[in-house]
Chains A and B, each alone.
Chain A
């Protein structure tokens, strides 16, 4: 292969390093109105009155918009296929505010100082309502967070707002109770995960204006430009045909920009005033008023026989979607569907649970999308079961985990809020990943622990994981390839580059199929006017789904080229050979270069534009797999943990770009470590997020980053483009379980509530020593 599976620098890294304009805010109009949002200081309240007369008198204030200015039309901000599996429970602005940071109204003014001044002059009177801040008591709480009659589900998702339930679901295979009763060993444990913040470096940003055709044009830092266009149109009742959403470079998303953020407000201001406007979130708004990971309680029951055969899994999930239900059902379902099939040899499985509304910052999509929560619970529980069985956790996994050619009935049952899709694992190198990881982390030598000095123990811990590659029968990606004179191509994709490298790898795929080099394929991504449709960057779909679309388009382009060469040679197409640069008539040995042929096509003979568009929708979602291993040093006097090494052995099929794939894994590992150890979410008793800046919410810095050892299994997924599966999310899943398993191996303390802070470890250690 010439362009794929070789080291190729990203096509845009250099320009970005050199500071070239690329991000949303770089393209805002100079004379944009600055929008500031007045946000609720209360977790739950009804707006009694708004007095904005003083603010409106301020010179430079253009408009103030509140619920009074909009029709009541519920929608969901979730960036998902339509009809969305998320409840339509949000209004542009509402009479109710449902969390500290919720939108009350917005001010648009000529500059930031004026907008801020105006905000300070506005008086809002609230009737404070009883808030629900403990998600475990939210269900059937006397205080109902969404009492409004207009809200609805698009299809059955178990939506019961009167009970504060945003979604619910249950499924079972076999009879779990019966299986568990027959098991020799059973464990039942509850695990808690926190509302991790995405903390992408670029805050959410959007700007809008009317162009010379009187169309609304937005630049937005979004992962889902086509969903954004649709949702703006729905929410503001503005014709879809008059909206153009351009996604320029995005400074990190991780799911946090999958849902709508400021786009509707910004559009509304431009529609109302006719003027360009922009809205850039402050870091505090990013923390308090965008989205977080869904915090969950996961009750995991596992049963096995004495030989260590896992027989039954019962998993109940209670998930906190916060004030609105974006991705409520689907994240929760992934907690089962992309976790439980890891152990496919059980007699019975049950997965059930509820997603509840609370008066917290809404939760949404976040890399891992439920799987990291589920993985933490399952892979911790497996180690706990092994402890009880007195069995090696490695041997246990070797016996029970899913293997190549096998399947799990869960695939057919559970999908994206709907039924799933049955599939066999055509590629699953989990055994290799596990065994290779054992070597790389030096498991034999360290397991379970080595005493380093009087207060330091070194230990290892591990976990296995799986994810998906897009959502079968739902996620669609399309690609257009256009031939230019001089013989280079444009590749137009709806797929959304957000820093994960999709522009580069899609270019590589096109270049490989067209037998050319990446510099001959000029990629342009995500502009709803110019590029074909794509659902966007989520669900680990880009390489697999959009990549397949690009591959199809390149194949079609190739055959068109050969047809045109055959016309030129005046022969049958089977007589034409093409090597990417030159077409040869194999009989006559006549030849023409691509360059000459394209110039001929555009200028000289039978002129025409060659341009092809192809789409792809997956019929399955081949999971990537990995085994993750942590080596830690734990201070038994203070509970402090230092991760020395993290080994990842990943089966993501063929890596289109090995270095970028490695970057995806390593970046995700460190984010997962953040969730495991550092990223503590603190909410005050009044419901205010305290950890709302980088001083109080600590993401891992360079000094926390361990030695990262990342390898890829040799694997070729037949359904993937050039054998690729996905790699965007899988890396984030294992650190919570692998690290807490290592903590247990070091000192016998089992952390079941994330993050595993030194304080928790020390206090548990004390309690344990006290008991003994």
Chain B
């Protein structure tokens, strides 16, 4: 089947099987930044934005995305770079495997929530697992990123 969608603003026509999940479609199309951490919709590593909302690409059928817009971290490079700056200052990045998904979710949160506190950051990001950092440094870095209006 053919599916027409927008990937990071660019119109794409993709050849897929009805049972293909977006994560596999993206990887087949050389988008490596979207990664797999599980098979059970429970780690958050595969997050992409669907019409601006964070969703698990491992559980979303590509055929259902006709006309929809998908954002991966390639679509928000400036924001990712800025978030990385604050992660760097806090030592909040370790293995980095969770980080593109973190950038996307934080970006969506920034658009959606007004003045998030540590508590709201926690509950918005709670599904994004990270085994390395213990989370706290990420939260501090995210707060600094949100304060930066530049």
Contacts A21-B32, A693-B40; A659 near B129 (Cβ below 8 A): no
State which of A149-157, A339-347, A587-595, A700-708 sits at the interface with chain B: A700-708
Number of interface residues of A (CB under 8 A): 58
Task: Indicate if A250 sits at the interface (CB-CB under 8 A).
Answer: yes
Chain A contacts with B in 612-630, Cβ cutoff 8 A? none
The contact of A10 among B72, B93, B125, by CB within 8 Å, is B93
Q: Is A201 an interface residue (CB 8 A)?
A: yes
Out of B84, B90, B132, B136, which one reaches A17, CB within 8 Å?
B84
Contact A702 B38, CB 8 Å, known A7-B89, A10-B91? no
CB atoms of A283 and B32 under 8 A apart: no
- Chain B residues near A284 (CB-CB < 8 A): 39
Proximity string of chain B (31-70) to chain A, C-beta cutoff 8 Å, 1 when within and 0 when not = 0111111111011010000000000000000000000000
Please provide the chain B residues from 70 to 118 with a CB less than 8 Å away from any CB of chain A in the complex. 72-74, 77, 80-81, 83-85, 87-100, 102-103
Chain A residues with Cβ under 8 A from B12's Cβ?
none
Interface string of A1-28 (1 = CB under 8 A from B): 0000001011011101111111101100
Could you say which residues of chain B place their CB within 8 Å of the CB of A703? 122-123, 126
Do the beta carbons of B134 and A283 come within 8 Å of each other?
no
Residue A671 CB within 8 A of the other chain: yes
Whether a CB of chain A sits under 8 angstroms from the CB of B3 is no
- A574 to chain B: which residues have CB within 8 Å? none
- Interface mask (B125-137 → A, CB under 8 Å = 1, otherwise 0): 1110111111111
Interface contact B89-A659, CB-CB below 8 Å: yes
Task: Give the secondary structure class of B's interface.
Answer: loop
Are the C-beta atoms of B95 and A694 separated by less than 8 Å?
A: no
Which of B43, B45, B83, B88 has the most chain A CB within a 10 Å cutoff? B88
Residues of B within 8 A of A667 (CB): 94, 131-134
Given A669-B134, A693-B42, A701-B126, residue A202 in contact with residue B95 (CB < 8 A): yes
A693 to B73, CA, bound (A): 26
Binds B, one of A385-393, A462-470, A495-503, A718-726: A495-503
Given A17-B96, A18-B100, A201-B45: A26 in contact with B136 (beta carbons within 8 A) = no
A670–B135 contact, CB under 8 A?
yes
- The answer to whether A282 and B37 touch (CB under 8 A), given A21-B32, A201-B95, A701-B129, is no
Give residues of chain A (484-518) contacting chain B, Cβ–Cβ below 8 Å: 498-501
In the docked arrangement, what's the CA distance between A501 and B77, Å? 23
What's the minimum C-beta distance from B30 to chain A, rounded to whole angstroms? 9
**A409, CB-defined interface residue at 8 Å:** no
A657 contacts B by Cβ under 8 Å: yes
On whether the beta carbons of A657 and B136 are closer than 8 Å, the reply is no
Q: Which residue of A lies closest to B77 (CB)?
A: A18
* Chain A contacts for B87, CB-based, 8 A: 9, 13, 17
Q: Are A252 and B134 in contact (CB under 8 A)?
A: no
Q: What 1/0 flags go to A168-180 for Cβ under 8 Å of B?
A: 0000000000000
Taking CB atoms, residues of chain A closer than 8 Å to B92 are 663
Q: Is A249 an interface residue (CB 8 A)?
A: yes
Q: Does A119 contact B (CB under 8 A)?
A: no
For B, the interface residue count at a CB cutoff of 8 angstroms equals: 52
A19 to B74, CA, bound (A): 7
Smallest Cβ distance from A196 to chain B, in angstroms? Answer: 12
The answer to whether the Cβ of A383 comes within 8 Å of any Cβ in the partner chain is no
Shortest beta-carbon distance, B37 to chain A, in Å? 5
A695→B95 contact, CB < 8 A: no
A13-B99, A251-B96, A251-B97 known; A201+B91 contact, CB < 8 A: no
> Which one, B33, B35, B39, B130, contacts A283 given CB within 8 A?
B39
A96 to chain B: closest CB distance in Å?
28
Check A702 against B122 for contact (C-beta < 8 Å): yes
Q: What is the distance, in angstroms, from A672's C-beta to the closest C-beta of chain B?
A: 10
Given known A-B contacts A14-B84, A663-B137, A666-B134, A699 and B100 have beta carbons under 8 A apart: no
Task: Tell me whether A18 and B126 are in contact in the complex, defined as CB-CB below 8 angstroms, given that A252-B94, A282-B39 are known contacts.
Answer: no
Contact B91 A283 (CB under 8 A): no
User: A122 contacts the other chain (Cβ, under 8 Å)?
Assistant: no
Q: Bound state CA distance, A198 and B92, in angstroms?
A: 19
Which residue in A19, A250, A500 is a CB contact (below 8 Å) of B73? A19
Q: Contact at B131–A660, with CB atoms within 8 Å?
A: no
A203-B35 Cα distance, complex, nearest whole Å: 10
Task: Tell which of B40, B88, B126 touches A13, judged by Cβ atoms closer than 8 Å.
Answer: B88
User: Do the beta carbons of A19 and B94 come within 8 Å of each other?
Assistant: no
A411 at the B interface (CB under 8 A): no
Contact of B39 among A18, A657, A693, A702 (CB under 8 A): A693
B37 touches A202 (CB 8 A): yes
- CB neighbours (8 Å) of B127 from chain A are 701
Chain B positions within 8 Å of A668 at CB level: 134
Choose from B42, B45, B132 the contact partner of A695 (Cβ within 8 Å).
B42
Beta-carbon contacts under 8 Å, A650-687 to B? 657-663, 666-671
Q: A735 → chain B, closest Cβ, in Å? A: 11
When the two chains form their complex, are residues B39 and A16 in contact, meaning their CB atoms are under 8 A apart?
Answer: no
CA A310 – CA B82 in complex, angstroms?
54
Q: Quick one: given A19-B32, A663-B92, A694-B38, are A201 and B130 in contact (CB under 8 Å)?
A: yes
A252 engages B95 (CB within 8 Å): yes
A694 to B38, CA, bound (A): 7
Do B96 and A16 have beta carbons less than 8 Å apart?
yes
- The reply to whether A17 and B122 contact each other, CB–CB distance below 8 Å, is no
A573 lies within 8 A of chain B by Cβ: no
Most central of A10, A17, A658, A668 by chain B CB within 10 Å: A17
> Given contacts A252-B94, A283-B40, could you give 9 more A-B pairs where the C-beta distance is less than 8 Å?
A14-B85, A199-B131, A200-B132, A284-B39, A662-B137, A693-B38, A694-B38, A694-B129, A707-B136
Query: B residues engaging A (CB < 8 A)?
Result: 32-40, 42-43, 45, 72-74, 77, 80-81, 83-85, 87-100, 102-103, 122-123, 125-127, 129-137, 139
23 A-B residue pairings within 8 Å (CB atoms): A14-B81, A17-B99, A17-B102, A18-B100, A22-B96, A23-B32, A23-B35, A26-B32, A201-B97, A252-B95, A252-B97, A252-B131, A253-B95, A282-B39, A283-B37, A498-B95, A662-B137, A666-B134, A669-B134, A695-B40, A699-B129, A701-B127, A702-B126
Q: Which residues of A line the B interface, CB within 8 A?
A: 7, 9-10, 12-14, 16-23, 25-26, 198-203, 249-254, 282-284, 498-501, 657-663, 666-671, 693-695, 699, 701-703, 705, 707-708
Q: Which 8 A-B pairs have the closest CB atoms?
A: A499-B95, A9-B88, A19-B33, A659-B91, A16-B96, A251-B97, A13-B93, A666-B134
